[in-house]
A and B are shown apart, each in its own frame.
Chain A
Amino acid sequence: GEDVEQSLFLSVREGDSSVINCTYTDSSSTYLYWYKQEPGAGLQLLTYIFSNMDMKQDQRLTVLLNKKDKHLSLRIADTQTGDSAIYFCAETLNNAGNMLTFGGGTRLMVKP
């Protein structure tokens, strides 16, 4: 079955760029998403990319997709302490309707 993997933890200094990585196994992904979860809160959609795109930029966020390597990344420029949260990547598959398959989440800690 499909599997989505992320590293558990990332620590950066305020003002630096953060890069959160995600790998997936199923090549029939249609859309790939990044969600943010702050402590005690729900899942906030940050951005998404269609599987036939390589890159998407949205203000401080840049999503890169390498479909050959099945690798997705989220770059946050000028990381702020308010960016500290858990970041989840997720995918929808061609043959699985609209259900999302999530990675385990990467906890981003931003140090002042």
Chain B
Amino acid sequence: EPEVTQTPSHQVTQMGQEVILRCVPISNHLYFYWYRQILGQKVEFLVSFYNNEISEKSEIFDDQFSVERPDGSNFTLKIRSTKLEDSAMYFCASQGNTEAFFGQGTRLTVV
């Protein structure tokens, strides 16, 4: 069964450093998303991506964040100058028609 793959599963970074979280969506899907889940809180929408551009973004997705689909398979989330409060589980999702399928997540810990 096709699945969304995320790497790394766990990333520890120092405050102020840049991180890139990687995702390989399901191959024939057209919509791609990033969500995050801070420990003990709700899963929150960050950004959606369609046709090689951002289609929607939340208030959380400020200038510190960017997304890219550098080739036909990868979808990345870059966080510049990480802060302690960026520590969370980051989920990538891809969608064909109705159903969004999520990856296993990357746990980002900012120290």
Contacts and interface: CB of A to CB of B under 8 A. Distances in A.
Nearest to A90: B43
Contact of B42 (A44, A96, A104): A104
B98 interface: yes
B42 A45 contact: no
Contacts, number: 53
Sort chain A's interface into a size bin. 20 to 34
A43 B48 contact: no
Contacts of A97: 48, 55-56
B75 interface: no
Contacts of A96: 56
B100 interface: yes
A99 B48 contact: yes
Given A43-B43, A45-B99, A99 B33 contact: yes
Interface string A30-50: 010101000001111100100
Contacts of B55: 97
Interface of B: 4, 6, 31, 33, 35, 41-45, 48, 55-56, 58, 91, 93, 95, 98-105
